[in-house]
Each structure stands twice: as structure tokens, then as C-alpha cells.
A and B are shown apart, each in its own frame.
Chain A
Amino acid sequence: MSEPNTDTTTRSDIDEQSDEQFRSWTESSGTGTVNIQDLRKVYGDDGDELVAVDGMDLHIEAEEFVTVLGPSGCGKSTVMECIAGYLDPTEGEVLVNDEPVEGPDPSRGVVFQENRLFPWKTISENVRFGPQMRDDVDESRVASLFDQMGLEGFEDAYPNELSGGMQQRAELARLLANDPDIMLMDEPFSGLDAMTKELMQEKLLDVWEDDDRTVLFITHDVEEAILLADRVVVMTARPGQVKDVIDVDLERPRSTDMVTTDRFNELQRRASESIHDEAERAMEQAEGRA
């Protein structure tokens, strides 16, 4: 009772300390470049070949947010899977931090279109999974991720007990627990309703603006592509390659109200025009195969 000042000092010391700790988790080491050189990926064997990607070049800077926009079946996911290390290029190279990709790595986190939380693990077990693989679970980091993603109280719930939006937040928390340099996201919000999608976009922007990670985000939603990105990469119909790169010069931090500004509309029109012909070609391809 006689030393209220001491208490205050101690308290703020702790806060400062944990702030610093949090920064050290989230500060990127400056790595996270992706270099795709003349990538070609062919599925199937002789006679029944499908050329998914051909002659694709793309350079992504460290800490850049790039969205990839393309018609369905254009090979967007193939490109992502090559960066993730699930697929080997047929020809060409995929370099991450100037090294060829050899298999999956925790420094390259992946979010899939459909929620891929492990259904047999609780939310807490899911979020801890990455650190646990290295025997390096940082409890305070896990707790702060639960807080950041609004998942407190759901630690012991199983994924199927959560709403779609919460599942996506849990999957994002699982990814961030691993502190990846690069986040690869394949249409992660396409299954969500409009409201939830908007909230998830804001959440992702928050996370990215705090943490300085490289993000490659695949979508077929033009508005989403522009709202999130530093650069929008438009892909051609199959075989996929880069058709157009649009620099998004909207100010940061972004918010979902920006979609009504003139500059946003202008960018959106440009992207839509760019993708329109490709979408038509993709549709003809799909009809031809059917």
C-alpha cells in the first residue's frame, strides 16, 4: 500500500518488454523474395498432356503484397503450388530468396481455398502445430494470436464447431504461429459470405501491415485483388503466363471503404478489361473440353 509507484513501474516494464518481444516475433528478417523464371508446368504424359503454365516470369519483392488475378483454370494454383514446393516445374525455375525451391518449408505458409484446419485437432492444437513440429511453442505468442484473431474461448473447440469466418481466422492464426516469411493464399475467402469476406480482408491487411511479410494472394475477384495488393498480376487463359501487371498506388493503410473512390474504380476498370478477354477464352476452352 505504501509503494504504489513501484507497482506502476513494474507494470509498464512488463508491457514494454512484451511489446518488444512481440516486435521481435513479427519483424521480418528482410527475406521473402520470389523469382519465377520461364516457368512451364505440364500435367499428364504423352498423348494426354495439359500445359497449365508456359513461359511465366514474375518477380516478387520481399514484403510485397501481390495478388494474382486470372480466369478459372489458368494455372494460378499451379504457380502457387510450385512456390509452396508441392509441385516441381517441368521447365524453368522458381527461386525463393534466390534459392531453388525444394519441397515445402515452414518459411512459406499456405492457406488453401477450402479450410484445411485439421478436423481431428482442437483450435489450440491446430494453432500450435507448426511450433510443435520444432518443439518450440511460445505460449505468449499463441495467446496473443488467439487474442488478435478473436478466438479466445475457442481453444478447445474443434474446427467443425466454428463458423466459416472463425475457421479462416483460426487457419490464419495457425499460419502466423509459424512466422512465415511468405504467405501463399489460394482464394482463401472465396467460400465466405460478403460480410465475412470483407472482415477477413481487413484482418489480413492488419496482419500484413503489422508484420511485413511477402504475400501472394490468388483470387478471381477483381475488387479484392485491387483492395489488397501493391501489384495485381493478371494471368492469361491456359497455358497461363503474365498478361498484365497493374501497380496499385492507393494509399495505405487500406480500408474497404476505398472501393468507392475514383482511383479505385479506374484501377478496377483496367483490371476488368485486362481479364475480360482471358475469361472468354477460358470459357471457350472449358466448353471445348466438355
Chain B
Amino acid sequence: MSTGSMSDRLVEGFTGSLPSPTRGVRKLVSLVGFVAVWWLFYEFGVLNFEHFVSPVTTIVEFAGALAGQPLTEGGDTIYLHAIYSGARVAVGVVAAALLAIPLGLVVGTSDRWENLLYPALEALRPIPPIAWLPIAIIVFPALALGSVSVPLPALFVVFIGSFFPIFTNTIEGARTIETEYGQAARSLGAGSGDVFRHVVLPATLPSIITGLSLGVGLGWITVVAAELLTGGPGLGYIIIQGSRLLQNQVVVIGMLAVGALGYATSALVEALGNWLMPWSTE
């Protein structure tokens, strides 16, 4: 009576004699193993790692940062940096989604709009988002809401970065809807507005969620890149500032914070998808 999956049984030959660890233990091994490799590189000076920072120092400093200590002498807390970066990602991605989803639906369902819009956008797509920064700095005026300055150039870079995955996935989703769903709806009395609302939109939703998930990931990638160049507060700024001050633990703390927040926002998008698509859960 084998109850294991195919992949479990395939590796039985290697692990059959060992006690099988639980899923949680395996995940812990993954994280501990990562830190152990880092420590070994530091301790034995692989690739100049001895000039870097030990995982122990980093973990201690990270705990301090989480307790609210400023990351650099006289600087801001990690929370403030994270809030700034997070807000930029949120604003950039939401703006991108608000434009990319309707455009993608239009291009994916109409040949005429596809001809009008797709070639230009397709030509812009391969440009790395950060390459837009010089133009963005020139064309966007300095903007402030009360006492808070709004970094339009950085927001624009995030916007561009997350726009294309959402756009292309929405197009792909709308294009690949089985025509018979639309035919069935029309034979049941649906007009074109009904077909859009009851067929095109829900049928494209899984692809839109995939696009959003990729878009949020690219949002974090681009916000860090933009902050490296435009300054802070922000997690990207903290990474470059730590490097300038030769405080490598600050660099790593910035990196880990981006990783953790990226992971968390992906989970958030996934939860949004499950909530919007109760039919797709097994």
C-alpha cells in the first residue's frame, strides 16, 4: 500500500532508510542550510567573503533593527524605510493595474485595438524599467502632498516595471478564452456587455492574477533599483547607504527586508486571487 506521490516514490531509493522528516522540518533545514553556507563562506574566506559580514552579526543587528533601532547612525528605522518602499510599490502597481487590465482586455478581445496599441507597447516592453529614470526625472515635476514629497520618477519606474507583466498576461488570458463560452452566453440571450461581464472578465481573471503576482514582484525589483539612484528613505536607499558606510550588515538587512516583503505581497495577491475566484480552488 503505497500512499506516497510519484516523486516521493522515485527518491525512495535514496532516502528509504532515513526517517522521513515533516514538511516543516524540511523548510527549516532549507533556511538553516542557507545561513550555514553563508557562515562557512565567511569563516573560510571563500571569494573574499571574509571582508563581508558574518550571519551571526547580521542576525543580531536585524533583531535590533526590528526592535526599532535606527539602521545607520542618526538614521531612520527599518519600519520607516519599509513603509516608504512599500508605499511606492503599492502606488506604482495599483496605477499599473488600473491601466494595464483595461488595456489588456481591449487589446486581447479586439483586433482593431490590438493593431492600434500593441506594436508600440511591444516595442517599449524590452526596455529595462530603470532605463526610464533619466526621462522620468526630467519630465515629472516635483510634487508634494502637504509635507510629504511624492517621488514621481521612482513611482513611474515601478509603474513601468509592473505594467508589462500585467498587460501581457491580461492580453493572453483574454485571447485564449474558448469562443464557445461567448457563443453559449449569446445563445442564452446575453448582449455584448453581458458577455464582457459574465464571460470575458471572469475567464481572464486567473491570468490577471498571475500578471499581478509577477507585477508586484517586479514592483519590488524596480523600487530598489530606483531608490539606489534617487535616494531615500527606502530599502533600496538603505542598501546603497550601508555599502557607502561600509556597514555590510545594513546592506544585508535591506536585502532580507525586500525579500520578506516581496514574499508577503505575493502571498497577498494569491489570497486576493483565491477570494475572487472561489471556483478555482480544488
Contacts of A116 in B (CB 8 A): 178, 180-181, 184
- Is residue A118 contacting chain B, with contact meaning CB distance below 8 A? yes
Contacts of A129 in B (CB 8 A): 185, 188, 190, 198
Contacts of B134 in A (CB 8 A): none
A133, B184: Cβ atoms closer than 8 Å: no
Contacts of A112 in B (CB 8 A): 180, 183-184
Closest A residue, CB atoms, query B205: A120
Q: How far is the CA of A169 from the CA of B191 in the complex (A)?
A: 25
Contacts of A178 in B (CB 8 A): 188-189
Contacts of B180 in A (CB 8 A): 112, 114, 116
Q: How far is the CA of A187 from the CA of B64 in the complex (A)?
A: 69
- Is residue A103 contacting chain B, with contact meaning CB distance below 8 A? yes
Q: How far is the CA of A84 from the CA of B182 in the complex (A)?
A: 13
Q: How far is the CA of A116 from the CA of B179 in the complex (A)?
A: 10
Q: What total of chain B residues lie within 8 Å of the partner, measured CB to CB?
A: 21
A84, B202: Cβ atoms closer than 8 Å: no
- Is residue A110 contacting chain B, with contact meaning CB distance below 8 A? yes
B183, A120: Cβ atoms closer than 8 Å: no
How many residues of A sit at the interface, in one of the four size bands?
20 to 34
B198, A104: Cβ atoms closer than 8 Å: no
Which residues of chain A in 148-164 are interfacial with respect to chain B, using CB atoms and an 8 Å cutoff? Answer: 158-160
- Is residue B279 contacting chain A, with contact meaning CB distance below 8 A? yes
Contacts of B199 in A (CB 8 A): 118
Which residues of chain A in 131-179 are interfacial with respect to chain B, using CB atoms and an 8 Å cutoff? Answer: 133-134, 158-160, 174, 178
Cβ 8 A contact of B187, one of A105, A121, A160: A105
Closest B residue, CB atoms, query A105: B187
Q: How far is the CA of A104 from the CA of B181 in the complex (A)?
A: 13
Contact with A along B123-160 (1 / 0, CB 8 A): 00000000000000000000000000000000000000
- Is residue A41 contacting chain B, with contact meaning CB distance below 8 A? no
Which residues of chain B in 168-203 are interfacial with respect to chain A, using CB atoms and an 8 Å cutoff? Answer: 178, 180-181, 183-191, 194, 198-199, 202-203
Contacts of A85 in B (CB 8 A): 186-187
Contacts of A103 in B (CB 8 A): 186
B189, A160: Cβ atoms closer than 8 Å: no
Which residues of chain B in 242-280 are interfacial with respect to chain A, using CB atoms and an 8 Å cutoff? Answer: 277-279
Contact with B along A67-86 (1 / 0, CB 8 A): 00000000000000000111
- Is residue A108 contacting chain B, with contact meaning CB distance below 8 A? yes
The chain A residues found within 8 Å of chain B, CB to CB, are: 84-86, 103-106, 108-110, 112, 114, 116, 118-121, 129-130, 133-134, 158-160, 174, 178
